[in-house]
């Protein structure tokens, strides 16, 4: 990642690597706060803080209590929480979002974005997904959703104040007008949307009007951002939000992907958060380059915060980066049972099940090394790379044996089995990008194995990473790497995730 700390240097994109899609950002004073979609994972909606829009530190999750987030055990992967909008108004933080797997649109508030956040206020009269909030000069709150339609609401009660009305359908012929954000800038109201679908045709368009409910005049240069039809290394650019810095400059956060390998290109980390500068011409936003190395903001970048790569599970609560599919009962995923260890009690008997006990973190690097010390004396479990129930690889330990398992669509197989000494075992994963080859070259290779007391890695199997990609599996998420239990109880002493050259 190319970063130089002086003003006028460069920073590296993405600014939030890995499965961090649908970013929404707001600024309060010199502080920026950003949230992303979390889909079927609990806790929901990670919250990040920055002082320079480039370096982000996770400070919590918005929906971190079961009473706030209900995703049914049988809800499909890529369901759950879609497209939050974060805003600061009248001294409080407001967040509106859609739970497509239960309840629809909801709103929560907080005095501190690190939490705690309120219990949800439901919005039963607001139809559609990707809700946005904006307040006009007289305090009226406008909620705009994909489609694009709009309704006035009472944000304290969730009640609608009139009918929901269409306001703009986007560019004629473009599919999926979604991700609306409404802003008062100068003498106009600007309506920013994504359209073209969240795949290679994704784009950002904008319209403006004199009132928050239009009528809206589309920008003659629409789309103001798209990478469709290009060979740029960042693709699927869209679902954006605007923010103004204290110096008056404007910036855009957006999602994009980094496809690798041959045709059609596979992105394995999910949709990530990127940053681009914005200027204005004739009253319209002009989006600058979205590139791996981009001109830095005209203010000094803050020192990069120390982000732990190893977790020894010495604290009573897991770090907010740890996520689990659908729910995470404290009795099944706990650091309180064996001091300094994470203990998982099995529910489902494999990662094919929607209720398997699993705790993981997002894969954030195209090349990484991951290790954990597992004690399977009381059960069966191990280290896994998960995309969904139908697409995952794992190295699984039982007393005296390890096996590499692969699930790809309807096929499930034991790729390799090896005897190991009885007792705790270090399970290891090495992810490396594939060098350029022919059109059939996959994006990366995942090598699973064990490590001995001297740190020597013994590979059991190397698997093609294309089968754990969105282009194969479908859906909206990215890879999550973590620990699981499929039978009995499995203890994990530590988990180590490190960026590797590659």
* Per-residue pLDDT at 9: 78
pTM assigned to the model: 0.97
Both 286 and 373 in one domain: the answer is no
Told to judge if 22 belongs to the known catalytic residues of this protein, a careful annotator would answer yes
What are the tens digits of pLDDT across the range 386-403?
A: 999 999 999 999 999 999
Phi-psi region of 377 (alpha: psi -120 to 50; beta: other; left: phi over 0): alpha
Domain boundary among 252, 270, 295: 295
- HSE-up (13 A, CA, CB side) for residue 297: 22
Angle at the Cα of 7 (from 5 to 10), degrees rounded to 5? 65
- What does the pLDDT average to over 305-316? 86
Q: Does 323 map to a domain?
A: yes
Domain boundary among 230, 261, 295: 295
Both 107 and 74 in one domain: the answer is yes
Both 205 and 351 in one domain: the answer is no
pLDDT band at 502 (very low <50, low <70, confident <90, very high): low
Domain boundary among 239, 269, 295: 295
What are the tens digits of pLDDT across the range 140-188?
A: 999 999 999 999 999 999 999 999 999 999 999 999 999 999 999 999 9
Among residues 40, 52, 64, 178, the one annotated as catalytic is 178
pLDDT band at 5 (very low <50, low <70, confident <90, very high): very low
Both 327 and 242 in one domain: the answer is no
- What does the pLDDT average to over 293-304? 86
* Per-residue pLDDT at 486: 98
* Torsion angles phi and psi, residue 466, rounded to 5: -60, -30
317, 445 in Cβ contact below 8 A? no
Mean pLDDT of the chain: 96
* Share above pLDDT 70 across residues of the chain, in percent, rounded to a whole number: 97
pLDDT band at 1 (very low <50, low <70, confident <90, very high): very low
Q: Does 300 map to a domain?
A: no
Both 287 and 355 in one domain: the answer is no
Among residues 22, 394, 396, 444, the one annotated as catalytic is 22
Q: Does 463 map to a domain?
A: yes
Told to judge if 137 belongs to the known catalytic residues of this protein, a careful annotator would answer no
Both 489 and 427 in one domain: the answer is yes
Q: Does 3 map to a domain?
A: no
220: CATH: 2.115.10.20
Beta strand spans in 233-322 (E)? 235-244, 250-257, 272-281, 284-287, 293-295, 310-311
Q: Does 145 map to a domain?
A: yes
Q: Does 4 map to a domain?
A: no
Buried b (16+ CB within 10 A) or exposed e, 96-119: bbbbbbeebbbbbbbeebbbebbe
Q: Does 222 map to a domain?
A: yes
Which spans in 94-233 are helix H? none
- What does the pLDDT average to over 333-355? 96
Cα–Cα dist 323/68, whole Å:
15
pLDDT band at 263 (very low <50, low <70, confident <90, very high): very high
Range of the domain at 95: 10-295
- What does the pLDDT average to over 323-339? 96
449: CATH: 2.60.120.200
25 to 49, 64, 315, 494: CA distances (angstroms): 10, 20, 30, 33
Both 347 and 468 in one domain: the answer is yes
Both 53 and 106 in one domain: the answer is yes
* Per-residue pLDDT at 436: 86
Residue 204 pLDDT > 60 = yes
345, 380 in Cβ contact below 8 A? no
pLDDT band at 23 (very low <50, low <70, confident <90, very high): very high
Q: How many domains does the chain have?
A: 2
* Per-residue pLDDT at 2: 56
What are the tens digits of pLDDT across the range 96-126?
A: 999 999 999 999 999 999 999 999 999 999 9
432, 444 in Cβ contact below 8 A? yes
- What does the pLDDT average to over 238-246? 98
Q: Does 234 map to a domain?
A: yes
What are the tens digits of pLDDT across the range 409-459?
A: 999 999 999 999 999 999 999 999 999 888 999 999 999 999 999 999 999
Both 176 and 64 in one domain: the answer is yes
Both 280 and 361 in one domain: the answer is no
Both 356 and 281 in one domain: the answer is no
Beta strand spans in 76-120 (E)? 81-89, 92-99, 104-110
Both 270 and 241 in one domain: the answer is yes
């Amino acid at each position: 990642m190319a970063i130089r700390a002086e003003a006028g240097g460069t920073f590296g994109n993405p600014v939030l690597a890995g499965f961090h899609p649908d970013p929404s950002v707001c600024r309060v004073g010199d502080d920026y706060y950003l949230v992303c979609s979390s889909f079927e994972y609990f806790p929901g909606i990670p919250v990040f803080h920055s002082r320079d829009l480039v370096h982000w530190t996770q400070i919590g999750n918005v929906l971190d209590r079961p009473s706030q987030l209900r995703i049914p055990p049988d809800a499909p992967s890529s369901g759950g929480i879609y497209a939050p909008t974060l805003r600061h108004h009248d001294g409080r933080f407001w967040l509106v979002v859609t739970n497509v797997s239960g309840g629809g649109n909801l709103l929560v508030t907080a005095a501190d974005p690190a939490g705690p956040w309120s219990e949800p206020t439901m919005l039963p009269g607001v139809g559609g997904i990707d809700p946005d909030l904006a307040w006009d000069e007289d305090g009226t709150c406008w909620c705009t959703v994909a489609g694009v339609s709009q309704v006035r609401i009472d944000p304290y009660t969730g009640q609608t104040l009139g009918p929901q009305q269409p306001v703009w359908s986007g560019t004629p012929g473009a599919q999926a007008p979604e991700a609306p954000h409404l802003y008062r800038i100068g003498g106009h109201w600007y309506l920013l949307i994504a359209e073209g679908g969240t795949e290679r045709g994704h784009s950002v368009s904008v319209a403006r009007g004199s009132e928050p409910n239009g009528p809206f005049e589309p920008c003659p240069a629409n789309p103001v951002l798209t990478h469709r039809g290009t060979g740029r290394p960042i693709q699927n650019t869209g679902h954006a939000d605007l923010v103004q810095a204290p110096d008056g400059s404007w910036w855009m956060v957006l999602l994009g992907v980094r496809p690798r390998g041959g045709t059609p290109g596979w992105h394995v980390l999910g949709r990530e958060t990127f940053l681009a500068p914005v200027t204005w011409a004739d009253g319209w936003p002009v989006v600058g380059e979205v590139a791996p190395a981009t001109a830095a903001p005209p203010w000094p970048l803050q020192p990069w915060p120390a982000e732990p790569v190893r977790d020894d599970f010495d604290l009573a609560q897991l770090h907010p980066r740890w996520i689990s599919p659908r729910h995470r009962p404290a009795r099944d995923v706990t650091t309180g049972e064996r001091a300094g260890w994470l203990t998982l009690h099995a529910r489902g008997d494999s990662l094919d099940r929607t209720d398997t006990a699993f705790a993981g973190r997002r894969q954030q690097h195209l090349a990484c090394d991951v290790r954990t010390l597992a004690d399977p004396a009381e059960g069966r479990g191990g280290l896994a790379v998960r995309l969904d129930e139908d697409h995952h690889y794992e190295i699984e330990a039982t007393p005296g044996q390890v096996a590499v398992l692969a699930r790809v669509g309807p096929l499930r197989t034991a790729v390799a089995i090896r005897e190991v000494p009885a007792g705790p075992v270090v399970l290891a994963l090495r992810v490396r990008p594939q060098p350029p080859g022919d059109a059939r070259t996959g994006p990366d290779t995942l090598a699973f194995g064990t490590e001995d007391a001297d740190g020597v890695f013994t590979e059991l199997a190397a698997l093609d990473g294309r089968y754990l990609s969105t282009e194969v599996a479908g859906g909206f998420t990215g890879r999550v790497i973590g620990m699981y239990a499929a039978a009995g109880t499995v203890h994990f002493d530590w988990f180590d995730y490190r960026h590797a050259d590659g």
